[in-house]
Copies of this chain bind each other. A is one copy, B any other.
Amino acid sequence: MNNNLSVCIMAGGVGQRFWPRSRESNPKQLINIIGDKPLITQTAERHFDKISPEKIFVITTKSQAEDISAALESVPKENIIAEPYGRNTAPCIGLVCALLAAKDPGTVLAVVSSDHWIPDVDVYLRTICDAAEVAVQEKALVTLGISPSFPETGYGYILAGEKINFSGETVFSKVEKFVEKPDKEKAEKLIKAGNAFWNAGMFVFQVAEMLNAFQKYMPDFYKGLIKIRDAAGNGNIETVIEEVYLIAPKISIDYAIMEKAENVIVGRCDFNWDDVGSWSSVSAHWPKDKNNNVIRGNVVTVDSSNCVIENTGKGVVGLVGVDDIVVVQTGDELLVCRKDKDQDVKKLVDKLKADPDLEKYTV
């Protein structure tokens, strides 16, 4: 395994689809949506068998930094990096690369999300470590691909080409093409083709290689990254970051770098993975009662099945004769949602935000 492997946990989102549990002040990654610990805590701890907490970094917003630090006791406070503004994933990953390059441009970095569910820790860690080896061996940017289990239209896809010669267990291939979120028909075709993976937004690369890619594909922003690298450890580092971010473009790492770079490799993930996209995904990973209901908190049901019910309020929730719905009660806020419409919780949050009297319930 690569002793120079660090992890960067990206934790900038709010997770509107998990309203009312997720709020601007209490985002998805800080909630124990699945399991008994917040998702970000589970994410960090997932690495501890192979990667020490000192090598785990988090990039987040200023407003979340303190709560995240509290949720990650063993991760050093200075490893929690706060972006001055949200600028999508390209500037975010660039910033971490610049800061790490100041110490050691040979560092290999695994970039992962703070709010995904990955129960098979051993296989996951093996994959990350294999990817680190391949990234160095091939001087490549490695992206991790999930074998699609159904024609999901909410993810981008990665088409794998020629296999990479690698002695480890994980299978790596050259990336033939990135495919944007397809419609259902196209998704079905992609799955049939057999060489398609879901783009799960997990990347492994040597920091120097990623900075080379920034130089090539985002040359203006790269100049800013060099300023940051050179200011790292100085008293004015925050000001420099602020200046660079003020003019940084809002763009994803996929659009800005991965889809353009020449030496991109995809590693096949042989572990269970869920991006925990909305309340119904919770059904798949929580224990259920005999009527297939997922129940948390004081809940009593009569003739109700296939529901997800979470009561974190002080009182009691009673269900009578309902099926396939999500009920989330905090006491102050309540969500009742058809399970297959749970993506639209975002619309509800948008409606609340647009109402001066109700906006407070989203903050």
Contacts and interface: CB of A to CB of B under 8 A. Distances in A.
A320 interface: yes
A193 interface: no
B331 A319 contact: no
Contacts of A19: 318
A102 interface: no
Given A300-B352, A300-B358, A355-B300, A315 B336 contact: no
Interface in A313-363: 313-322, 325, 327, 329-338, 340-342, 344-345, 347-348, 351-352, 355, 357-358, 361
Contact of A316 (B311, B337, B358): B358
Contact of A336 (B319, B332, B357): B319
A289 to B, nearest CB: 14
Interface residues of A, number: 42
A317 B336 contact: yes
Contacts of A337: 318-322
A74 interface: no
A39 B214 CA distance: 71
B358 A342 contact: no
Contacts of A340: 321
Contact of A302 (B20, B314, B319, B351): B351
A331 B331 CA distance: 5
A338 B318 contact: no
Nearest to A328: B318
B334 A334 contact: yes
B331 A318 contact: no
This chain: how many copies in the complex? 2
Nearest to A316: B361
A278 to B, nearest CB: 10
26 contacts: A20-B318, A300-B348, A300-B352, A300-B358, A302-B344, A315-B334, A316-B332, A316-B334, A316-B358, A316-B361, A317-B336, A318-B336, A318-B337, A319-B337, A320-B338, A320-B341, A320-B347, A320-B348, A321-B344, A322-B325, A325-B325, A325-B336, A327-B334, A327-B336, A331-B331, A334-B334
Given A302-B348, A317-B334, A322-B336, 19 more contacts: A300-B348, A300-B352, A302-B351, A313-B334, A315-B332, A316-B332, A317-B333, A318-B335, A318-B336, A318-B345, A319-B337, A320-B338, A320-B347, A321-B340, A322-B325, A322-B337, A327-B334, A329-B334, A334-B334
